[in-house]
């Protein structure tokens, strides 16, 4: 599973750099005496996080000064609510960052349609908050999740008093999880994943993992293989559903901007490298452009960095390779001499996927676990990726079974695969059809999740 994010790197670095598979070592539930060691470690964790609260506040203020936290909403990170709690029932969903938050948007909408309840969505990152501000339905509340110190957790839980909590994927903070469970709030973990490595670690402490899993009424695993791992560790209720990412609506795009870009590009061959990471991955993309240009001299490569604030750095790197670059953040027009279009803006992937017939999805050549490969497929773009799809294991398995997964190991292979797809429209169309067939076949996942959550959802008042 993904690494646990920490806001206490100095005081608690050794503890909080553990992978999510180890979080349960600090998590309490309700079990037998064999789990007393787990309770002792949890007590130590709570003490350390309480003592480290001043350091945490200092660290978050530094992050806010660098734009890594929302300075105007920093109080929310310490459990101080930015809004009043509405009367009535409240369902709380926690989705750590952009990927998880995007995946639950269909679930949020579905809950809002069928329940007369308030919905609260928490997340950890500034980018996720910006995305949710644009895309959450009217009436849904967003707050930043509190840091995992006891006082902040208590303030958050005292204010919001949730009637049901849904945790998404991987970010489970020990104090927040256990304090929520201690208040009797039913909790369900959806899109759950457990790696083989985590399974091996947990087998050394079977009583402890039972405590962890006992905090959740239900675990909805992404795949049957994941479900079996949770069952092997003693989870009392496990079911399998597909990832909610399959249920996400296609990314939006502004029609006028689409037409403007299409006019600027004209009939040039083009492809997009989306959500790319610094280092070897972006080097591979630039290497691929160089190789492509030998056979397609007018090819345009659109690069959409995962972190657009790196625009200046990337533009310099591209220029140092001798390429002519236009930047979207500078409102540059794409002219015939431009070889690279640097799309260093947020929230416009839907635009570029609609323009490009082929997309390389980043995070797959950079040990980041991969980013959303479903989004371009939904828009009819042929998808190519690297081998690291740890965040999309089920999707990768589904595509592999359908003969629709195209992976590359480096810039040379990337150029060869992209070039073949750009020049062979029949092959590209066949790949798109196979890939889209997989995503379309999983569209029922939202109803499956709603059915599983039904017994735990608070009873709503009749209107």
Decide if 113 is catalytic: no
Return d(Cα 189, Cα 191) in angstroms, integer. 7
Q: Give 405-445 as a DSSP string.
A: --B-SSHHHHHHHHHHHHH-HHHHHHHHHHHHHHHHHTTTH
Task: Single out the catalytic residue among 100, 281, 348, 394.
Answer: 100
Note every long-range contact of 46-50, with CB atoms under 8 Å and residues 24 or more positions apart, other chains counting.
Answer: 46/150, 46/175, 48/11, 48/12, 48/15, 49/8, 49/12, 49/148, 49/149, 49/150, 49/175, 50/149, 50/150, 50/151
d(CA 136, CA 101): 10
- The β-bridge relationship of strands 187-192 and 164-168 is parallel
Counting every residue, how long is the chain?
463
> Coil, strand, or helix at residue 339?
coil
Task: Give yes or no for a contact between 33 and 47, defined as CB atoms under 8 angstroms apart.
Answer: no
Surface-to-core class of residue 338, CB atoms within 10 Å of its CB (0-12 exposed, 13-18 middle, 19+ buried): buried
What is the rounded distance in angstroms from the CA atom of residue 186 to the CA atom of residue 176?
A: 13
CA dihedral of residues 333, 354, 347, 135 (deg, nearest 10) = 140
User: Which residues are 119's β-sheet partners?
Assistant: 91
Residues with catalytic annotation? Answer: 100
């Amino acid at each position: 599973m993904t690494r646990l994010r920490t806001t206490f790197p100095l005081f608690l670095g050794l503890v909080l750099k553990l992978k999510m598979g180890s979080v349960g070592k600090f998590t309490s539930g309700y079990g037998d005496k064999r789990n007393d060691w787990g309770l002792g470690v949890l007590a130590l964790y709570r003490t350390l996080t309480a003592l480290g609260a001043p350091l945490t506040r200092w660290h978050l203020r530094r992050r806010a000064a660098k734009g890594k936290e929302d300075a105007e909403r920093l109080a929310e990170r310490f459990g101080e609510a930015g809004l009043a709690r509405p009367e009535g029932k409240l369902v709380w969903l926690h989705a750590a960052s952009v990927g998880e938050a995007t995946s639950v948007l269909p679930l949020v909408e579905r809950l809002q349609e069928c329940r007369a309840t308030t919905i609260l969505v928490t997340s950890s990152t500034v980018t996720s908050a910006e995305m949710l501000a644009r895309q959450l339905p009217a009436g849904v509340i967003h707050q930043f999740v509190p840091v995992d110190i006891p006082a902040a957790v208590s303030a958050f839980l005292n204010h919001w008093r949730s009637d049901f909590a849904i945790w998404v994927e991987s970010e489970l903070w020990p104090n927040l999880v256990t304090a929520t469970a201690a208040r009797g709030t039913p909790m369900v973990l959806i899109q759950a994943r457990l790696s083989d490595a985590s399974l091996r670690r947990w087998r050394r402490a079977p009583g402890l993992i039972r405590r962890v899993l006992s905090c959740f009424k239900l675990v909805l695993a992404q795949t049957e293989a994941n479900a079996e791992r949770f069952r092997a560790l003693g989870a009392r209720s496990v079911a399998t559903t597909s990832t909610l990412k399959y249920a996400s609506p296609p990314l939006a795009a502004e029609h006028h901007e689409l037409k403007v870009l299409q006019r600027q590009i004209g009939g040039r061959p083009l492809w997009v490298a989306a959500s790319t990471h610094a280092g070897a991955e972006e080097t591979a993309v630039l290497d691929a452009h160089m190789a492509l240009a030998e056979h397609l001299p007018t090819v345009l490569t659109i690069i959409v960095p995962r972190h657009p604030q790196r625009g200046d750095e990337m533009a310099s790197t591209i220029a140092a390779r001798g390429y002519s670059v236009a930047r979207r953040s500078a409102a540059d027009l794409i002219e015939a001499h431009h070889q690279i279009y640097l799309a260093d803006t947020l929230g416009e992937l839907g635009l570029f996927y609609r323009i490009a017939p082929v997309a390389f999805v980043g995070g797959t050549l950079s040990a980041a676990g991969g980013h959303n490969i479903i989004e371009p497929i939904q828009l009819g773009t042929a998808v190519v990726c690297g081998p690291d799809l740890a965040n999309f294991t089920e999707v990768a398995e589904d595509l592999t079974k359908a003969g629709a997964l195209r992976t590359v190991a480096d810039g040379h292979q990337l150029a060869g695969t992209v070039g073949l797809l750009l020049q062979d429209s029949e092959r590209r169309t066949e790949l798109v059809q196979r890939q889209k067939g997989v995503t379309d076949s999983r569209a029922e996942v939202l109803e499956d999740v709603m059915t599983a959550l039904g017994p735990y959802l608070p009873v709503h008042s009749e209107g």
